[in-house]
Structure 1
């Protein structure tokens, strides 16, 4: 994604900015996929916990003297305890927040590379690149790494063009 009008003395900076852009794109997509998985886990654990608790309560209030209400309540408690331990809701929110932050970095890197860099002096360009690097490093420190499934889904989405813009296809003659 390096524009053709980058002066030769800025090529190494352009390559590094392109790497940051690609890394941010892959990280954003991985975090979005991880957020979707955490949302699914939250639903898979939370809905049965609530439903089983309601059925156990209704069965118990109906005067059922069998062990059924107690068993249902225990199963509901197990789902609830697992949900609390996994903390899928917080993890989903964290992944979504990280994904958005990586998208901001991706946009900043792309704009630096395609709009600003061709007209910059080397020292000025190096300073701007350092800012992008610092942002990426800070995001990497705070973001939970996505799991294998989220990574696989992210790569698949990117390869299918999930991070492409129509304007980029038009410029490349596609």
Structure 2
């Protein structure tokens, strides 16, 4: 078995265990929503960067079906995004929130750069690590805002009918 296949197999196992272990049962529905939303973003952006010859994935699962990395674009990144959102420091300082973004984004970027330099899982053509960092940051931000919107964080508290000024008698 090649190094690339070992890494892909390991990524599936580690991510599956992390999701099973770290996603609370009461947040299972939320995790599915986040996972699918991140998949939507990575599917679209992954296909674009491959079609525009910015990145190539020489070794990948389902090589005849898709030119992007199925393992990372469709499972690992969305799984990490679930953990990013479920463990986001919601009621902490702006600095702590920014650090949360930087840690997740930088961690994935460093991992991808290592893969790019030492394996055939990914090869940059007209791409660089900072584009990875920027796109990850933006997709984490998009998933965060989508999740907050879905939870209703952006809606104002409804005024009960009995207390509404127009309904008083």
State the TM-score, normalized to the length of structure 2: 0.29
Which protein, 1 or 2, shows the higher relative CO under an 8 Å CA cutoff with sep ≥ 6?
1
Structure with the higher helix share, 1 or 2: 1
